[in-house]
Structure 1
Amino acid sequence: MPITTRVATSSDIPEAAAVLAEAFADDPLMTAIWPDQRLRHNALPRYFTASLRHFHIPRGGVRLATGINGTIAAVAVWDPPGQWENNLTTTVRALPDLLPALRTRAAAAITIRRTLDQRHPHKPEHWYLVNIGTTQKARGQGYAARLITERLTAEASTRAYLVCTHADNLTYYAQFGFTVTESFVLPAGRNPAMWAMALNM
């Protein structure tokens, strides 16, 4: 099946958020924020909508992979070099959309975000793969791989960083050249293990 990729725009947010919500429905990091499955599944579409709208789409690094019918099959949320940190002004503007998703889990989300930020490399500048997800129906068909490969081959010796949230995905990212630089646990939920991975850094 032919795969088409393009930059996401604001009009893509509802569908892209739905793809990410499906992909991360039972992800360990999201489970640490929302341990209750029902609450998590209800919150994720709103959470990803707010995240894409306020933080990532404006930075221009979000890319989509679509199939022959144009439906979004995979979403890669890349933050460009030097743009991974969320400034206070943008965060404040995002709160009216974020808080209804987080509700009583806001404190847990802040704690987890601080843990991730503390381990994020500041130098050298790099592309940050914040999230990448594929719909259940499209998994195993190369959509996510295309989005990763395109970003990493767009310029020579691209530097990149990500946090792997599931041990089963370590070998997947390794095939693109990512190597584990650190393992750590999140200070929430059941303290799930995370792996920082970098490329050309």
Structure 2
Amino acid sequence: MGVRIRAAGEDDWELVVRLLDEAFQDDPVSGWVFPGEEYRRRTHPRLMAAFTDIVLAEGRIDVTADGTACALWVSVPAGGHPGAGQGDGAEDAVRLREAVDPANQRVERIARLAAAAHPADRAHEYLWMIGVTPSRQGEGLGGALIGHVLDRCDREGLPAYLEASSARSTRLYERLGFARTGTPLDLPDGGPRMWPMWREPRTAARP
């Protein structure tokens, strides 16, 4: 049986924020940005809310029909970057920190690193985040959500890009046709590594 997928709207805001918060509470990058379990529990949802706001405004959020998984996508034009829609990546990073956790420089630091590594020479689809409720992880929901957009990328001849935040997720993305690209992002102060990954379309664009 296939996974039913629909586009999220403003009414799904709380659902998406909750899914992302639950899915990334134990993620290595989230642990670096918000060290300490209690601090992360209180503050991490603000970052997920900010991401949800940006992508609802600029991109597309897909959710499974049963509300157990979601994927955040932004269409990035050649020469562009995903962000708050104004200024450059550095300015977006400052605004993100001020909105989420003003005293936490790591929020801004990771946003700057991701913006600097983001490919800018070709239009592409950017998988900002994907979250699956912990009790349903490993069931193929994430792969189905990603494949939903990759099918369109293949039809339209569009590449896709993402940053993997763990070795486990990297293996999933590799099975879907992504390959590591550029230089890994090593977060400072003993932080984890992130892997930029790029996927070429598997079919040419139709004339």
Q: Same fold (TM over 0.5)?
A: yes
Q: 1:15: how far off?
A: 1.0
What is the rounded CA distance, in whole Å, between the counterparts of 1:61 and 1:160 in structure 2? Answer: 14
For the pair 1:8 / 2:3, whether they are aligned, the reply is no
Match of 2:68 among 65, 69, 73: 73
Q: Distance in 1 between matches of 2:117 and 2:160?
A: 14
* Separation of aligned partners in 1, 2:137 and 2:147: 16
Partner of 1:84: 82
Q: Secondary structure at the match of 1:154?
A: helix
Residue 111 (structure 2) pairs with residue 113 (structure 1): yes
| Distance apart, 1:113 and its partner CA | 0.8
TM-score (norm 1): 0.85
Query: Is 1:102 aligned to 2:120, yes or no?
Result: no
The one-character-per-residue Cα deviations of 1:87-139 (angstroms, maximum 9, x if unpaired) are 347x88x95x964642421x211111111111100021100001001001221
Aligned-partner Cα distance in 2 for 1:111–1:164 = 17
Of residues 150-159 and 128-137 in structure 1, the stretch that sits farther from structure 2 once superposed is 150-159
Query: TM-score, structure 2 length as denominator?
Result: 0.83
Q: Which has the higher contact order (CA 8 A, sep 6+)?
A: 1
Quick check: 1:7–1:60 contact (8 Å CA) kept in 2?
A: no
Taking every aligned residue pair, what percent have the same amino acid on both sides?
24
Question: In 2, distance between residues paired with 1:49 and 1:112?
Answer: 17
| Unpaired segments ≥5 residues, structure 2 | 202-207
Shift of 1:184: 2.4
Please give the per-residue CA displacement for 1:138-179, whole angstroms capped at 9, x wherever unaligned: 212221111100100024233100001101222110111000
Q: CA RMSD in A?
A: 2.5
Please tell me whether the aligned partners of residues 62 and 76 of structure 1 are also in contact (alpha carbons under 8 angstroms): yes
Q: Which residue of 2 aligns with 1:57?
A: 56
Measured after TM superposition, the shift of residue 2 of structure 1 is 5.5
Question: Is 179-188 or 57-66 further displaced after alignment?
Answer: 179-188
1:89-168 mapped onto 2 (5 Å cutoff): 99=98, 101-105=100-104, 107-155=105-153, 156=155, 157-168=157-168
SS of the residue corresponding to residue 101 of structure 2 reads helix
Q: Does the 8 Å contact 1:32/1:188 carry over to 2? A: no
Determine helix, strand or coil for the equivalent of 1:161. Answer: strand
